Structure 1
Amino acid sequence: MADNEAFTYNGGKVEPGKTQDIRYGISETYLGDPVRIPVTIINGEQAGPTVFLSAAAHGDELNGIEVVREVAYEWDLSDLAGTLVCMPVLNVPGFLAQQRYLPIYDRDLNRSFPGSETSTGAKRMAHRIYQNFIEPCDFGIDFHTSTRGRTNMLHVRADMSDDAVARLAKAFGSHVIIDSSGSDGMLRTEAAKSGTPAITVEMGEAHRFQRELIDEALAGVESVFAEYGLRETSTVNWPGWRTVISDENEKTWLRADAGGIVDMHHDRGALVHEGDRICTITNPFKDDNVTVVAPFTGVLVGVLENPVVYPGNPICHLVELKDKVRRVVEREQSTSFETPG
């Protein structure tokens, strides 16, 4: 194979066969101290794709941090063909405050890409990240979790109308891919617009490491590396069943019609059939029960973790499974996902 080239960013260079850990300045605090994000660049000796792995664009979403760190520091990358740009914590101010948004500006970093060097503080931060570490890449994976109080099964969100993005999404090997172009300002959306295919991986809940999901995501990264030839030792993963949720599928967030305390009867990833009882909402005296049932047969991509709701609060994200996929899932999920009691 051909020799690799140096990876350059504003202020530095990483030669082939070298690894560099940097804290890259993207803004300043009220005291004029630098706001810096950790970046690890692993540049293989052999030529290949340049790939970014990013996490914690929302500061309280932690699962992806461990995925990116383990790839960078625990995997044997001596045979790497290409370059890895690993950014475990994009939103450092939010991470330090353990909150979703940038506390300095109260803005969503993941609605600020590709950024601007003359606009808001959030967009200036996004601009420095994007110009130096996203735009130079051939493709990338951005890791997220559900927001506080909810949890997601591991799944991919991707614009499947873009062939290059669809290839990446399928290579990751998740059971569920939700087909969406994404909102303006999202990292994956803006990267794809400028020619860097990118996907979002959703996994679990905020404020914690969940080992099972981290391991699933690591298997997905390994599968992607195999698909694009970054590591000879990796193999492409087929998840056993897969469904792409598009406009042809029913999908909905089921919301509470009553306030109270929620007793969930199914976990994330569970298959539920039309008419199945998903949860029961009760008052403190348990004398006024409101049952929430599945309006169609599908899989629970996301469910409530915080067991208290107001009317209108989201309870679960249900996506339809077509008959062929449903039968496969029924065979796989031969044991019930119902919680005791």
Structure 2
Amino acid sequence: MAASPVSTDVDFSKPGRQVGRLRVPRSRDDSGWGTELIPIVVVANGEGPTILLTAGNHGDEYEGQVTLLDLARTLQPGDVTGRVILLPAMHYPACAAGKRLSPIDGKDFNRCFPGDPFGTFGQVLAHYVDSVLLPMCDFQMDLHSGGTGMDILPSACGHALDDPEMMRRTLDMADAFGAPITMVLVEVNAGPTLLAQAERRGIVALSSELGGGGRLNPENLVITQRGARNVLRHAGVLTGTPQVGPYGPSRRMTIPDLAHYVFAPHDGIWEAADPLGAMVAKGAPAGRLHLTEDPDRHAIPLNYAADGLLWCARFAGRVRAGDPVAVIARDL
């Protein structure tokens, strides 16, 4: 694979605190040599592990962006043993637009890994993250929430891994993050995600889901801010031990298969039967799907196909055929 065309004004080998930009080529009608600037902060001091913290993978997910902006402003070299790399608005064009998908190439950035140096904007940026940043790292965490479309109980998330030692280290890191839930995911189309790419490189890595609805939830922000510093402590980059939240140790849960998802069979308006966080039963009503184009037809009832905790619920009322409207979790 060719070298990345992305450049930066930070020196990753240099101690101290640096605030700079990634310069990602973007040729436009009015600027053939144009670039997009992605903010990056590096704080380094002495010998120790490197951790990459990212947010704004999707532009409509806000708890992580605000958390890393706070860290970027406050973290000082004297606080750190090792190196912290922060991308508070990793997919900056989507962050500036407040959208999940890129306003430049229409792609979901978190489905662009490992990327392509000759590809579209998102693929070029993903290739830089994968080929330049990830090889420096011992730990990585990508901060997500449910965005505009979904609302999700605050969780640290990892994938189910075949390597038992990596699975143990992932769960240890998730326990340290200290969200109310630690989720081991079998998710839809996980392969091209940043989390999966970090796992393939042998990096101890986590994602998260920390709310949603296209808003910044104050309670979830507190969980995210505490969790990010907890991960730095767990990695040995900050001193001290991780802090436990007021809800106690994280509850380990899983979504083992697609039977734990409820998918809309048609376009329509979703009317949920239960609030987020409810305990639900297999066969019980999950809600009704109203067909606005056919007012003479009864709403379509949908049922849960598994017992468990309503971990993720549709936030936006309008859905399309194939959209998940509910996701059920059960204890690991």
Partner of 1:13: 11
* Secondary structure at 2:155 match in 1: strand
Q: Distance in 1 between matches of 2:116 and 2:303?
A: 46
- The answer (yes or no) to whether the contact 2:289–2:299 under 8 Å persists in 1 is yes
Give the Cα–Cα distance (whole angstroms) in 2 for the partners of residues 97 and 257 of structure 1. 30
Fraction of identical pairs, as percent: 21
For 1:97, the aligned partner's letter is A
CA distance 1:90–1:258, change in 2 (3 Å): closer
State the match for 1:300 in structure 2: 310
Distance 1:219 1:103, change over 3 A: same
What's 1:100 paired with?
100
CA gap of 1:166–1:102, structure 2 versus 1, over 3 A, is same
CA deviations over 1:17-51 (Å, ceiling 9, x no partner): 6111101202224113221100011113x432111
After superposition, where does 1:1-341 map in structure 2 within 5 Å? 11-13=9-11, 18-30=16-28, 31=31, 32-44=33-45, 46-74=46-74, 78-161=78-161, 162=163, 163=166, 164-174=169-179, 175-180=181-186, 183-205=190-212, 207-237=214-244, 239-245=248-254, 247=256, 251-256=259-264, 261-274=269-282, 276-281=284-289, 288=298, 291-309=301-319, 313-321=323-331
Change over 3 Å in CA distance of 1:189–1:255 after alignment to 2: closer
Shift of 1:104: 2.2
Match of 1:328 in 2: none
Any idea what SS the aligned residue of 1:135 has? helix
Under a length normalisation based on structure 2, what TM-score does the superposition of the two structures give? 0.80
Partners of 2:325 and 2:185 lie apart in 1 by 22
**Distance in 1 (alpha carbons) for counterparts of 2:227 and 2:234:** 11
- 2:183 is matched by which residue type in structure 1? I
Unaligned runs of 5+ in 1: 1-8, 323-341
Compute the displacement of 1:258 (Å). Answer: 6.9
In structure 2, relative to structure 1, the CA distance for the partners of 1:228 and 1:244 (3 Å cut) is same
**1:314 Cα deviation from its structure 2 partner:** 2.7
Superposed displacement of residue 227, structure 1 = 2.1
1:286/1:11 Cα in 2 relative to 1: closer, same or farther (>3 Å)? same
- Structure 1 residue matching 2:116: 3-state secondary structure: coil
TM-score by length of 1: 0.78
Shift of 1:231: 2.1
1:199 shift after superposition: 1.4
Q: Does the C-alpha gap of structure 1 residues 41 and 153 become closer, same or farther in structure 2, counting only changes over 3 Å? A: same
- Name the SS of the counterpart of 1:70 in structure 2: helix
Tell me the CA shift for residue 217 of structure 1.
1.7
**Contact 1:51–1:83 (CA<8 Å) still a contact in 2?**
yes
AA partner of residue 11 (structure 2): K
After superposing the two structures, state which structure 1 stretch, 86-95 or 291-300, moved more. Answer: 291-300
How many residues end up aligned between the 2 structures?
Answer: 312
Tell me the residue number matched to 1:325. Answer: none
Q: Is the 8 A contact 1:27 1:36 kept in 2?
A: no
Distance 1:224 1:196 in 2: 14
Cα displacement (A) at 1:15: 6.5
Shift of 1:126: 1.7
- Tell whether the 8 Å contact from 1:260 to 1:283 is kept in structure 2 after alignment: yes
**What CA distance in whole angstroms lies between the structure 2 residues aligned with 1:126 and 1:282?**
39
Larger mean CA deviation between 99-108 and 47-56 belongs to 99-108
User: Counterpart of 1:4?
Assistant: none
Structure 1 window deviating more from structure 2 (173-182 vs 120-129): it is 173-182
Deviation of the 1:193 alpha carbon: 1.4
Cα distance in 1, alignment partners of residues 153 and 232 from structure 2: 22
Deviation at 1:269, TM superposition (A): 2.6
Q: Structure 2: which amino acid aligns with 1:232?
A: T
Q: CA deviation at 1:52?
A: 0.8
* Segment of structure 1 superposing worse, 256-265 or 144-153: 256-265
Shift of 1:68: 1.2
* Equivalent residue letter for 1:13: D
Q: 1:258 to 1:28 in 2, by over 3 A?
A: closer
> 1:277 offset after TM fit, Å?
4.2
Q: What is the CA–CA distance in structure 1 between the aligned matches of 2:214 and 2:254, rounded to whole Å?
A: 27
1:259/1:93 Cα in 2 relative to 1: closer, same or farther (>3 Å)? closer
Per-residue deviation, residues 307-334 of structure 1 (Å, max 9, x unmatched): 2446654321112347xxxxxxxxxxxx
CA contact (8 A) 2:260 2:305 kept: no
In structure 2, the residue matched to 1:6 is none
> In the aligned structure 1, how far is the partner of 2:79 from the partner of 2:274?
43
- The 3-state SS of whatever aligns with 1:48 is coil
